[in-house]
Amino acid sequence: MKRLLINASVAVGLLAGLSACESDSVSVSDPGSSLVSNKIEVVVDSSFTISSSTIPSGAIQSRTTTQLLGAIKAPEFGTLRSDFVAQMFPSNNIETEDITPDSLKLQLVFEKDAFVGDSLAPIGVEVYPLVKQLPSPIYSNYNPAAEQAYDASRRLGAGAFTAVGISVNDTVAANPYRFAYVDMPDELMSSILDKYKTEPALFNDPYSFQDFFPGVYVRHVFGSGRVTRITSCRMVFYYHKTYKVTNSEGVETDSISKLYNYFMAMAPELVSNSCIDYEISPDLTKLSTEGKSIIAAPAGYDVQLRFPIKDVINKVKSSENGALTVVNTLSFSLPASVIESARGINPPEYLLMVLSKEKSEFFEKNKLPDSVTSFTGTYNSTTKTYSFGDMRDYLLKMMSSEEELTEDDFTFTLTPVSMVMETSASSYYYGTSTSTLSGITPMIAMPAMVELLPEKAKIKLTFSRQSF
């Protein structure tokens, strides 16, 4: 431990720029008191170490309408295949008078860059009607065939699409979204129109509507070069109306307006789920058996770590010796190593660090990080590090515990997640907006992998000590 004595007038400047990789302390004397001799020390210690191991993620609960569709095979990652099932939220405003129905299509919406793999690799899909209600909660290992959730003899349609349009015009190319369509049968279109005409109230109740139309199963059937993140799934109804118009010469002619409406769409109020089949590669399995800390998503590997909170507490208490101590900060960052992938499978952008005993409850109750039992780490691609912010509140809670700390108090699980942000206008005049974290969901909609480096973890404790 290094110790320096400085004048109080330069203390603020020194403390503002203080950093250390080992145990350091800075002493500040108070020359302004002639009655009591005060000495303030700021102690910085980063000598702590952590231990971690790779554990299976297990099935993960779907908490989002964003789904994964397609298949990809990469030697360093494994083989991932995903279909999805979705209940549909009905429209309660369908035009039925004086129209001519044309067609019904299932529309899949995805961002043009929201894929992993070959952008030109086709994804072939088939669409089937669900014949039973989807369970809630629902998990990534849900198997529609095993659950007899759909009617395999009633295929509604089939189609194929790529991630990019070929020979598209500039307007389409500039659109951040892409659309894929699967033709639906006229019988389905007619049955929905007839139901709306006879029971319009049913379309005001999305839950009762499931008794009439339980949803769709979108099944991947061919192509193994790409997986795509589907942001929306809709039933689009196309129709036209014919009007009589009279031209300037008094001649009456027909005018046709081509229109469309959404019959139904995926919605967060209802159940949807990516049905994931992930076979982890031998390469990743070998790394985990060798003791490496591997994250693989979706539904692959998590990392479990033991945070040295007892050592941190002992450091603070052993430095007291009758002095008054105040914890300033406790920060934690975790370096990572990118696992090279020809398919472009990258590290997850966010990791949730949550007490292992509370992981399931965190997602089931839609919790947000509280900086006591749960934290989020954001990946910095430049430094290749996940930073988990300030853990001071966690330290204070552990220090104030009247019971002896157990493994449950410092065993955390690191799992990849997606952030759900809500954007609201903060200034109408200046056109600015504010984004607020509204939810955290397990990372389902993109494959990801990374090796964490616990031996290089940086835990930095800063506290002040005042002696009299």
For 35-79, how does the pLDDT look when each residue is reduced to its tens digit (9 = 90+)? Answer: 445 678 888 999 999 999 999 999 998 778 899 999 999 999 999
Name the residue type at position 430: Y
Residue bearing the bigger pLDDT, 124 or 249: 124
For 76-96, how does the pLDDT look when each residue is reduced to its tens digit (9 = 90+)? Answer: 999 999 999 999 999 999 999
Residue 465 has pLDDT above 90, yes or no: no
Using a 10 angstrom Cβ sphere, with 0-12 exposed, 13-18 middle and 19 or more buried, the burial of residue 283 is middle
How big is the CA angle at 344 (ends 230 and 117), to the nearest 5 degrees?
50
Using a 10 angstrom Cβ sphere, with 0-12 exposed, 13-18 middle and 19 or more buried, the burial of residue 28 is buried
pLDDT of residue 15: 38
Confidence grade of residue 11 (pLDDT, cut at 50, 70, 90): very low
pLDDT of residue 227: 95
For 147-177, how does the pLDDT look when each residue is reduced to its tens digit (9 = 90+)? Answer: 999 999 999 999 999 887 544 555 566 788 9
Residue 17 has pLDDT above 70, yes or no: no
Best CA proximity match to 212, nearest among 199, 224, 221: 199
pLDDT of residue 438: 83
In the chain, what percentage of residues exceed pLDDT 70? 87
Residues with Cβ within 8 Å of residue 144, at least 6 apart in sequence: 83, 85, 130, 150, 217, 219, 275
pLDDT of residue 424: 62
pLDDT of residue 261: 94
Residue 295 has pLDDT above 60, yes or no: yes
The rounded mean pLDDT for the chain is 88
Average pLDDT of span 251-267: 91
Residue bearing the bigger pLDDT, 430 or 352: 352
Name the residue type at position 421: M
Lowest-confidence pick of 111-125, 145-159, 267-281, 413-427: 413-427
Residue 386 has pLDDT above 60, yes or no: yes
Contact 232, 109 (CB under 8 A): yes
For 107-122, how does the pLDDT look when each residue is reduced to its tens digit (9 = 90+)? Answer: 999 998 899 988 888 9
How many beta carbons lie within 10 A of that of residue 306, not counting itself?
17
Q: Where are the beta strands (DSSP E) in 381-447?
A: 385-390, 411-427, 432-442
Query: Quick one: CA dihedral 404, 407, 409, 410, positive or negative?
Result: positive
Lowest-confidence pick of 149-163, 168-182, 204-218, 400-414: 168-182
Partners of residue 275 on adjacent β-strands = 83
Confidence grade of residue 434 (pLDDT, cut at 50, 70, 90): confident
